[in-house]
Amino acid sequence: MQTDKEMNEIHTIHSVAEAHHFLGLPKPMHPLVSVIKFEDVSFTVSDAWKRFTLNLYTIAIKKGSNGKMKYGQSMYDFDEGIMTLTAPRQVFSVRDLQDVVVSGYLLTFHPDFIQAYPLAKIINNYGFFSYATNEALFLSDKEEQIILGLMKAIELEYNANIDKFSQDVMVATIDLLLIHVDRYYNRQFITRRRLHSDILSKVDSLLDNYFNSETKEHNGLPTVQFLADNLSVSPTHLSDLLKNVTGLTTLQYIHTKLIDKAKILLSTTNLSVSEIAFQLGFEYAQSFNKLFKNKTKATPLEFRQSFN
C-alpha cells in the first residue's frame, strides 16, 4: 500500500533530455528544445505518470487518443483534435496509459531557449498558457493545417545542421505560432459567445445568491476563485470569457455588481453605510467607501443624498 507521501509525490522533469527519457525517446538533438511526434512516444506504465510537472513550456497538437489526462482539477478525453499549451511547473497526471494512442506534435522548450529574445518578456502574457486542459483550443481544419505547417517548419529547422541562425529561426517561428494561437483562441471565444453569455448568467446568479445569503458575512467579499470553482473553470479562463462578453475582468465585474447592490441598499433602505458595508461582505466600512468613490466618483453618503 502506498503512503500518503508517495501518493502526493510529484515527479519533476527538469530538462528536455529528461522529457525525452520520460517519453521513451532517444537523446534530443538540442539541449533546450525538441519537436516530438506523438507516434514516436512510448507511454510505458510508471508511477511517475500519476503526478508530474515539467520545468518546460509545451505546445501540443493532439488527435485520436483514448487516454485521459488530468490537469488542474479537470479530466480531458483526447477523442478530438485539440491544442494545449502549458507553462513551466504546472502539475499533470495521466490515466489509462495502456489505451493512449496519439498522433500529432509536441513542441517543448526550456525558458532559457527564448531568454535572449523579446518573446521571453511577453510569453506569459498569453492567458492560454495557464488554462486547464479541458479549456483547450479546438481547431478548424484550416487552422489545424496552419499550426501543423508551423510545427513542421520548426521540426525541419530542428533536424537541420545547426548554425548561428538556427535558434533565431526556431524562436521566430514559435513567436508566429503563438500569434496564430492567440487569434484562434479569440475566434473560439467569439464563436462560443452564446455559451459565454450562459456563463455570464451563471456568474450573475452566483453573485446574487452570495449577496442575498449570510455567506458573505462569514467569508467576506466574493472572490474570483469562488466563482471559478463554482463554474469549474480556471480563474484566468473565466476572466477571458467575461472580458470577451462584458469588457471587464472577473474582479472588475464583481466590483460592478457590488456597487449595483450597494446603490439599491443606499436608495431603498435606512441602513447606515457601515451596515451596508457589512452586509456586502466588507470587513471595514472605509474599504467600502474607497471602492464606491473610486467607481462612482461620490461617497456612499453623497450618493444617498443626491438620490433623495
Is 274 exposed, middle or buried, given 0-12, 13-18 or 19+ CB atoms closer than 10 A? middle
Residue whose C-alpha is closest to residue 216's, from 270, 264, 254, 263: 254
What are the CB-based long-range contacts (under 8 Å, 24+) for 224-233? 224/250, 224/251, 224/254, 227/203, 227/254, 230/206, 231/199, 231/202, 231/203, 231/206, 232/73, 232/74, 233/132, 233/135, 233/199
Q: Which residues contact 211 (CB under 8 A, 6 or more apart)?
A: 222, 257, 261, 280, 281
Q: Which domains does the chain have, with CATH numbers?
A: 4-191 (2.60.120.280), 194-307 (1.10.10.60)
**pLDDT for the residue numbered 108:** 97
Residues 6 or more apart whose Cβ sits within 8 Å of residue 180 = 143, 146, 147, 150
Structure confidence at residue 141 (pLDDT): 87
pLDDT at position 69 is 56
Grid cell in block for residue 283: 470587513
Q: Which amino acid is at 129?
A: F
Specify the pLDDT at position 17.
96
Residue 69: how many other CB atoms lie within 10 Å: 21
Q: Where are the alpha helices (DSSP H) in 78-165?
A: 119-122, 141-159
Q: 244 CB contacts (<8 Å, ≥6 apart)? A: 186, 189, 190, 193, 196
Give the mean pLDDT per block of 10 residues along the chain (308 residues): 55 92 92 93 67 88 64 47 82 61 87 94 84 68 93 96 94 98 83 65 88 70 93 88 84 93 86 92 92 92 80
For position 72, what pLDDT does the model report? 45
